Structure 1
Amino acid sequence: MRLPGTRYQEHGWEQVRKLLGHCSLQAFQRLDMHHMLEPARHAALLDAYTDAVAAALRAGARSGRAEAEGNSYGESVYELSLGLLYELHAHPGFWQAFAATVAAEHARSGAFWLDAAADGVMRKKVNDMYAGLRDKVDADNYIVATGRDCSPNKIYTYRMLDTAYREIAGLFAAWREHQDQVGAILGRALEGSPIEVRQMKSIGGCKAEWIIRWSESLERFGGAPGPLHTRSKRFASLKNSPGKIADMVTEIGDYEELSSNMDSADDWQGDAGEAASWLEDLWRVSGESELREAQGGAFDDDRILAAAAPDGFEAEERDGAADILVEEEDIPPAREAAAVAAEREVAEALSLPPRYMELARAAQQTGSWALRVLGDESLPIRLAVYHKLLGAADDTYPNAWLDPASGELPTLRQLAALDGISMPTLRKRRNEAIDKLHAASAAR
């Protein structure tokens, strides 16, 4: 999403968030976390944290993630991360709020940062801090660029509407598979291909009524209320204000159209298509590799090569598998193809994407300590462990792990079905895996 003056609302934010989270965990290893419990030390601790994270960012400035494009204005993920880090000094209230959440967690659980699941908990708190800071910085810059009032909550609302449009566009593109929901969004029963599917070319063509009905439809078709229909007061009045929605959607669309005129579309659109195809191949091959290993298959050392981590920067969680090189002539044997087909059938029966297991395997955190400890466990068991320890919805989960309908991990019942086991067996193996994690943590 593009808006005047904003820098952090586009596609690169996910990588900015992950880079700051990774470097923050490195910084916390060098800090005395007990000082978080002493308000008098918060200013000095912020200075030490900023220096440590900046050093970690600079050490990894040549990594693929840091050099990736952060927004459409040419700023890299590294540049955006470093800029947002230094904004903490201009807005220390976000650091103080972060310290307060650490103190509250300590009051409940003691020195929780020493636990096996500490990285996930701390990363979540860091993510929340930077997400709030991001919207504050972008809201201030929007005011400077336009001269109009704006708040972090309004930036959040813009982003919700942009997300709603993209969800609606996805449903429209697959209207045959979602006829009832698309009909509910349009406010009529479908008779053949709806013309709106062809007419909506951008967010500027998305009607406010569609967004309101989309939100209303989510409880029926997705199992959870939409953003305009929850008990939260954040959007309570918006569902009754189609004019306000229309104005905000039009503003997003107008600015995106204006700013896109400065982009060299002819240069990058072909590359984007090639990149998407390459990622599809990567996910497919990685999923087949995981499946073959699970079935006891072997690979030639010269056929699959793991990408080396950049010097001075530890490889961490990715939304895709490690880069690999595979001969194009290699074709999985019939039995593996049949197993993949069976997995897809099960996923479809559970209302998950057909390639859920393949993509979820590819998105595993290949260098993580938890994966090394639980390497012998199946993917559904590992996800059940995260479900128990971190909850069904955590900001650190790769998108490929989530059920698109809920935006959360699949339910335990779905995970059991994906693993071909009963619920009691899933719980038993999950608990054994958690015990294994705790034992490994105690031995470190």
Structure 2
Amino acid sequence: MRLPGTRYQEHGWEQVRKLLGHCSLQAFRRLEMHQLLDHGRHATLLDSYTDAVAAALRAGARSARAEAEGNSYGDSVYELSLSLMFELQAQPAFWLAFVAAVAAEHGRSGAFWLDAAAEGVMRKKVNDMYAGLRDKVDADNYIVTTGRDCSPNKIYTYRMLDTAYREIAGLFADWRQHAAQVGEILGRPLDGSPIEVRQMKSIGGCKAEWIIRWSASQERYAGSPGPLHTKSKRFASLKNSPEKIAAMLAEIGDYEELSANMDRADDWQGDAGEAALWLEDYWRVLGEAEQNEAKDDDRILPEPVAEEDSGLGDDAAEEGGDDGAGPPDEFKAHDLAAEQALAGTLSLPPRYLELARAAQQAGSWALRVLSGESLPIRLAVYQKLLGAADDTYPDAWLDPATGELPTLQQLAALDQISMPTLRKRRNEAIDKLHAVTAASAK
């Protein structure tokens, strides 16, 4: 189950619980358990316990259980266990409740921790401690994330409803074997395949009435009362409040749908993401084309042209020719001073062009294809294809004031051309990419 801000309500909790229980038993072997009965030593023992558990967790951090996925947000079982254990120091009331449970067991059975079966008893008490702490931590984080009130009991209720939904989904999936109970859940006798089986694709499609009827039918079909129909008063009010159940089911469903979309971010990144993949494909095709040309022994290559006769134009010469590694040695000081003054008038760092040229990836396919274009034209191409902000851009390309590439107006001014001319040259450069790719693909 996913809810805003929560981290411990998903499939990995069982492994977190087992890892904390295992490490706690190791810690107890290093502690003098009878000191738990001394009220004056509770705080000191908490520090000793957390130190020992942390050491045991770190020692087993490379185990299969510790490295297993703890939730759908990318936290490992080890990371969740360690953070929850440290939460215990911030919320010592759960430790004191554990100590009280140990003292009560001692009152009934004496020094029970010396018995052979003590580990099972201690593990159960540790599980109870961390289960309560888990719901408190997740409830607090839910409040911070949403701004809505929440309590550990409400988190427990969300989890109960999620579990009930999954039970119902299982019955629906195997409805032929459970036709009588499925009929009671739906509130009608079955006559062939129920359409609800196909319609309920997520918890958001589960109806509150189904939860209530499922709970009422559990004692008859499963042998024990459902959560809404036990003697406990925890969920007693819910069976008469379908609107509350419906709202909670909808919230779980809405957030799970939202977070599932976030998991598949590549499906909805939009034009910028598609452009990045498109340009990456260009580089791949160009690389393959160059390799094919190198393997063609019959190809007659033209005689290399001297640099001074290359005809690349002033822009390419200023930017170091094809490699784009930066200005050549003969780039005159007064030219640098002039471009620094120009950058200053555009609210850009004075050495913007100089540093932006140096930040280009020498030998990159994009630079090779666009080597005849000035740096502002190339940046305009990237802005068109990838957007003004992209994680792949070097910091030296960005305007410090915005954290993005300079605007088209700034780029046109840097190139000392008009906006229409900039757009024309930018589009021609993009057309060149298309043409080279089309020729390489043949």
2:230 matches 1:241: no
Question: 1:15 — aligned with what?
Answer: 15
2:188 matches 1:188: yes
Q: How does 1:45-444 map to 2 (within 5 A)?
A: 45-264=45-264
Give me the whole-angstrom Cα distance separating, in 2, the residues matched to 1:171 and 1:155.
25
Question: 1:2 — aligned with what?
Answer: 2
AA aligned to 2:222 is G
Question: 2:38 — aligned with what?
Answer: 38
Displacement, 1:191? 0.8
Give me the whole-angstrom Cα distance separating, in 1, the residues matched to 2:265 and 2:24.
36
Displacement, 1:172? 0.3
Give me the whole-angstrom Cα distance separating, in 1, the residues matched to 2:239 and 2:165.
15
Give me the whole-angstrom Cα distance separating, in 2, the residues matched to 1:26 and 1:58.
13
Residue-by-residue CA offset, 1:293-348 (whole Å, 9 max, x unaligned):
xxxxxxxxxxxxxxxxxxxxxxxxxxxxxxxxxxxxxxxxxxxxxxxxxxxxxxxx
Displacement, 1:264? 3.8
- SS of the equivalent of 2:7 reads coil
AA aligned to 1:12 is G
Give me the whole-angstrom Cα distance separating, in 2, the residues matched to 1:27 and 1:36.
13
Aligned-CA RMSD value:
1.2
Residue-by-residue CA offset, 1:194-245 (whole Å, 9 max, x unaligned):
1100000000000000000000000111111110001111001000000000
Q: Give the structure, 1 or 2, with the largest relative contact order (CA under 8 Å, sep 6 or more).
A: 1
AA aligned to 2:190 is L
AA aligned to 1:90 is A
- SS of the equivalent of 1:188 reads coil
Give me the whole-angstrom Cα distance separating, in 2, the residues matched to 1:88 and 1:108.
27
- SS of the equivalent of 2:106 reads helix
AA aligned to 2:20 is L
Displacement, 1:135? 0.1
- SS of the equivalent of 1:237 reads helix
Displacement, 1:266? 10
Runs of 4+ in 1 over 6 A off after TM superposition: none
Give me the whole-angstrom Cα distance separating, in 1, the residues matched to 2:155 and 2:28.
30
AA aligned to 2:236 is A
Give the direction of change, closer, same or farther, for the CA distance of 1:265–1:177 in structure 2 (3 Å limit): farther
Give me the whole-angstrom Cα distance separating, in 1, the residues matched to 2:251 and 2:259.
12
**Percentage of identical aligned residues:** 84
Larger Rg: 2
What stretches of structure 2 of length at least 5 have no aligned partner? Answer: 268-442
AA aligned to 2:214 is W
TM-score calculated relative to the size of structure 2: 0.60
- SS of the equivalent of 1:29 reads helix
What stretches of structure 1 of length at least 5 have no aligned partner? Answer: 268-444
- SS of the equivalent of 2:104 reads helix
Displacement, 1:265? 9.5
Question: 1:377 — aligned with what?
Answer: none
Give me the whole-angstrom Cα distance separating, in 2, the residues matched to 1:39 and 1:224.
41
AA aligned to 2:172 is F
- SS of the equivalent of 2:2 reads coil
Displacement, 1:262? 1.4
AA aligned to 2:228 is L
- SS of the equivalent of 2:65 reads helix
AA aligned to 1:91 is Q
Displacement, 1:18? 0.3
Give me the whole-angstrom Cα distance separating, in 2, the residues matched to 1:118 and 1:37.
17
Displacement, 1:159? 0.1
- SS of the equivalent of 1:69 reads coil
Q: What is the aligned residue count?
A: 267
